[in-house]
Amino acid sequence: MTLEPFGARLRHAMDTRGPLCVGIDPHASLLTSWGLNDDIAGLERFTRTVVEALADRVAVLKPQSAFFERFGSRGIAVLEKAVEESRAAGALVLMDAKRGDIGSTMGAYAATYLDKESPLFSDAVTVSPYLGFGSLRPALDAAAVSGAGVFVLALTSNPEGAEVQRATAADGRSLAQVMLDHMAAENEGAAPLGSVGAVVGATLGDAGVDLAINGPLLAPGIGAQGATPADLPAVFGDAVGNVVPSVSRGVLRHGPDASGLREAAERFADEVRAAVSGN
């Protein structure tokens, strides 16, 4: 049975649980700060704690696949369990994998994260369009079939991204704007929100692009990277109501105590609500 489209599910989750995405990023330094070893046992304990603390209350959990992949098959097994348990508790799972390839290889990535029969099936996945937006077609089509979403890199929070993303296309648009315009076309007519989102860093100041894509805008960079919820209106303008701020270390550093994680997540969600509403 096909799920309700991701955009509709995300809109409901943000309205009921608060507009916040919390990353599950088991950095070696975070494991150490929690008093855990940088091994599979530490990874399991860290991940289980975050999921048990937050999956029943935040809108989105975003595991960073690389931090699980580094442990090989045992790390992937931990990731599979985290995805399953997070979704069972009501959180939407955004797999932060940033996959980008062409043809059958992109199709294989799509099958990994966007096919409901896959053990890593997620509500959405991050992808890179810089082999050409058309290279994402297998993922876009797979997401449409399963009711999942796709978040496409547009203007990222790392300074190096500008040399590609701010480059000018032949028609004078920035490459980021070209990608955003493709996303808008994919989302045309969707309500209440399209299922193709953009990744736009919260640290950018004035984004300088048209963000009216009728889809969600994942905003990394809040917390440890220096942005705050109060910065969101300046970056996103009229599209701020569709922003999904992403916080990782800003919440995770409050572990390993579950109550500390919950309080930090609740505080960020409250700050985002206030910033978006203008109160």
Q: How far apart are CA 254 and CA 46, in angstroms?
A: 12
The predicted structure's pLDDT at residue 224 = 67
The predicted structure's pLDDT at residue 172 = 96
Catalytic annotation on 116?
no
Q: How far apart are CA 136 and CA 127, in angstroms?
A: 8
The predicted structure's pLDDT at residue 208 = 86
The predicted structure's pLDDT at residue 37 = 98
Q: How far apart are CA 242 and CA 21, in angstroms?
A: 13
CA atoms within 13 A on the CB side of 48: 9
pLDDT, tens digit (0-9, with 9 covering 90-100), for 112-164:
999 999 999 999 999 999 999 999 999 999 999 999 999 999 999 888 999 99
The predicted structure's pLDDT at residue 3 = 83
CB-based contacts of 225: which residues, under 8 Å, 6+ apart? 157, 202, 203
The predicted structure's pLDDT at residue 277 = 79
Q: From 100, 79, 104, 74, select the one nearest 26 (Cα to Cα).
A: 79
Which H helix or E strand runs over 152? strand 149-155
Q: With contact defined as beta carbons under 8 Å apart, do 199 and 245 qualify? A: no
The predicted structure's pLDDT at residue 134 = 98
3-state DSSP assignment of residue 241: helix
Q: How far apart are CA 263 and CA 102, in angstroms?
A: 42
The predicted structure's pLDDT at residue 2 = 66
CA distances from 18 to 52, 207, 230, 274 (A): 18, 24, 16, 11
Note the helical H segments in 200-257.
232-236, 249-252
pTM: 0.96
CB-based contacts of 262: which residues, under 8 Å, 6+ apart? 53, 54, 57
Q: With contact defined as beta carbons under 8 Å apart, do 67 and 97 qualify? A: no
List the pLDDT tens digit at each of the 279 positions of the chain: 668 999 999 999 999 999 999 999 999 999 999 999 999 999 999 999 999 999 999 999 999 999 999 999 999 999 999 999 999 999 999 999 999 999 999 999 999 999 999 999 999 999 999 999 999 999 999 999 999 999 999 999 888 999 999 999 999 999 999 999 999 999 999 999 999 999 999 988 778 899 999 999 999 988 767 788 999 999 999 999 999 999 999 999 999 999 999 999 999 999 999 988 765
Which amino acid type is present at position 245?
P
Which amino acid type is present at position 213?
I
- Choose the catalytic residue: 62, 81, 98, 116: 98
